[in-house]
Amino acid sequence: MATYVIGDVQGCFASLQKLLAECGFERAQDRLWFVGDLVNRGPESLQTLRFVRDLGECAIVVLGNHDLHLLGVWAGHRQVHHSDTLAPILDAPDCDALMQWLLHRNIAHFEHDVLMVHAGVWPGWSLEDTLFHAQELEAALRGPDFEWVFAHLYGSVPARWSDELTGADRLRVITNAFTRMRFCYPDGEMEFHHKGRLGSAPPPLLPWFDVPGRKTAGIPVACGHWSALGLYLREDILALDTGCLWGGKLTALRLEDRRVFQVDCPQMKAPKK
């Protein structure tokens, strides 16, 4: 039995199938972990959603910002962007069933001493804090007021966690930490403008995982979201977004021995500048 952690697919279903063949994935005995952003901007988001849903319990998915965007559009509280490729999902006869399935995916997953999230973990949260706040957001998304949640979920302020936060501000900070964060100031304030490579942001900005005193340091964190970072592996960071959508690669990492599997991907969007 093997567990493969897979980077951002973003609707690149054909590349996902190639990668699973490269891994030698066997559905009867292996498991797949997806770091989020199953959908959007790639050509086959509908096929991707149906395939991963039909994998049942052998697939673990955490929600990414594009997955939440799709849910927000479906709930009527987000506008479709010109670069979105969500129409086939929204027009599908099984759209509502797919959205209910997606709505019940986790925000964070901890197993085998590895923590999986989409973008990152706020530096001031311990593992226990992280799982607690993930469950807070999951409960809000799945609750009777989920439309209110989507109506108030978006924005970049507040940019720093406080235990005193309540209501929409609290959920917004949790969402941004888990699904949007890349760089932070040394005090943990999140900065959402810079998206480039390591070292590209002006001082004193730091990658979230290098903020001094980060409370999850030492716990391996599997994540995606940051395509400019690329494949970035160290003892406590397993960053796997390798820009499949932009003509890069789709990447899987086997947890048991940290072996990396990759396939080349056709360019679906113009490369980021």
State how beta strands 237-239 and 259-264 pair: unpaired
* 2 neighbors 22 (Cβ within 8 angstroms): no
Rounded Cα–Cα distance for residues 263 and 144 (Å): 41
pLDDT at 188: 97
- Give percent above pLDDT 70 in the chain: 98
pLDDT in tens, 198-247: 999 999 999 999 999 999 999 999 999 999 999 999 999 999 999 999 99
pLDDT at 209: 98
55 token code pair: 């994998």
272 token code pair: 């980021």
What pTM does this model have?
A: 0.97
pLDDT in tens, 159-168: 999 999 999 9
If we measure between CA atoms, which residue out of 211, 205, 199, 231 comes closest to residue 35?
A: 231
Exposure of 145 by Cβ count < 10 A (0-12 exposed, 13-18 middle, 19+ buried)?
Answer: exposed
pLDDT at 272: 55
Helix residue spans in 125-233 (DSSP H): 127-142, 146-152, 167-179
* 120 neighbors 158 (Cβ within 8 angstroms): no
pLDDT at 217: 96
Weakly modelled stretches of the chain, pLDDT under 50: 273
**3-264 topology per CATH:** Purple Acid Phosphatase; chain A, domain 2 (3.60.21)
DSSP designation for 241: -
pLDDT at 32: 98
Rounded Cα–Cα distance for residues 208 and 179 (Å): 12
pLDDT at 267: 80
